[in-house]
Structure 1
Amino acid sequence: LKVTSVYVALYAGFDVIFQDADLVWIKDPTDFLHEQKNYDMIFMDDGARTMRFGPLFTNTGFYYIRNCEKTLYLQEKLIRSAGEIDFTASHQATFIKNLFEN
């Protein structure tokens, strides 16, 4: 489960950059992401404008999460949502739903 690896790293005190294996960096984004102090999470735009992933259209194939209480809580909620992720076959849809609930 994608959320487990992110949760473990956050729980250990790290900020996390998560990406799917099919993405390639043209330029290293780490400095830019760390400089964005006003944001706890930064996502790549999904590009698809379907209701399933709206209204934020965040893409969970690449995102940055700053270690803080709010993001750790969100990841804990996602781990408890493993059944929903399995049922809907969508980590992304469940992630977006939980973003709105927090």
Structure 2
Amino acid sequence: MAMAAKVYCVQMVNMLGYDVLFQDVDLVWYKNPLEYFYNHDNYPDFDIYFQDDGNHALFYAPYSANTGFYYVRYNDRTQYFFNSLLLAGDLILSTHSHQNALIALLNEHASMYGLRVKIFERHTEEFPGGFSYHRMSDFMKELARGEVHPYIFHMSWTHNKDNKKLFFQQMGEWYLDDRCVGTTANELGVSGHESMIAPCCLSEPNVICHYRDKPSKIPCTDSPPIDKGGQSFW
């Protein structure tokens, strides 16, 4: 089960005594985010760091932590936290979400055991996500023009993986050759010991316009809107 796998991989590495940076695949790096967390000028006194999810519904209260990108410092508090999350499989199954279970335990462990939780403000420049993409058009224009320099961009807060791909394409963050999508190495003529990088990874992004009302690297004014009555981003 994918939800449980997201717990196992972090808990096992944490138990071995290591700090952990966890991320989903709907994310691009502009700079190495580990440099931020290794810099002791950047909130060094916290145990675990999350992006703000953007969704502030009651079931995410009080932290609204996004579990698609987070950093964990190894110590007794985080070790106990992830052991507790590992044992909360019933909560994950009943809520159909490891995120809901994790946030519930964050509240408990911060209150009872002193776990120090840092949630980056959702307007932060360093770690933008889907909230920025869908709600902060001025920031996204600055990003497209290279006027801001975040560490990563996380296409969270987005309806499905198909839309995430389309949005990455028009943001100029899609570097996969189309012929490699849904294609095996054998079909590409790549043997078992050869890398898939050369045939599949593009040196320049494949920028494709899809929707005029969503952020894009280039003006997509001739494309349809995805939202009814959506105005052009540019």
Report the TM range for the smaller structure's normalisation: over 0.9
Alignment partner of 1:32 out of 15, 32, 36: 36
**1:1-16 → structure 2 map (5 Å cutoff):** 1=4, 2-16=6-20
Task: Give 1:70's aligned residue.
Answer: 77
Secondary structure at the aligned position of 1:24 is classed as: strand
Deviation at 1:49, TM superposition (A): 1.6
Q: CA RMSD in A?
A: 1.1
Task: Give 2:51's aligned residue.
Answer: 44
With normalisation by structure 2, the TM-score equals: 0.42
Quote the sequence identity (%). Answer: 38
Q: Which stretch shifts more, 74-83 or 20-29?
A: 20-29
Equivalent AA in structure 2 for residue 46 of structure 1 = D
Q: Which stretch shifts more, 49-58 or 12-21?
A: 49-58
Deviation at 1:23, TM superposition (A): 1.4
| CA deviation map 1:77-96 (0-9, x unaligned) | 00000121011111111111
* Distance across 2 between alignment mates of 1:53 and 1:11: 26
Which structure carries more relative contact order (alpha carbon 8 Å, separation 6+)? 1
Equivalent AA in structure 1 for residue 37 of structure 2 = L
Long gaps (5+) in structure 1 = none
The structure that is strand-richer by fraction is 1
Deviation at 1:50, TM superposition (A): 1.3
The structure that is helix-richer by fraction is 1
* Distance across 1 between alignment mates of 2:93 and 2:38: 32
Q: Where has structure 1 moved over 3 Å in runs of 4 or more?
A: none
Secondary structure at the aligned position of 1:6 is classed as: helix
Mapped contact 2:62–2:107 kept (Cα < 8 A): no
Q: Which stretch shifts more, 45-54 or 62-71?
A: 45-54
**1:14-25 → structure 2 map (5 Å cutoff):** 14-25=18-29
Pairs aligned (count): 102
Task: Give 2:67's aligned residue.
Answer: 60
| CA deviation map 1:11-63 (0-9, x unaligned) | 11110000111111222110111224211100011011211212211101110
* Distance across 1 between alignment mates of 2:31 and 2:49: 16
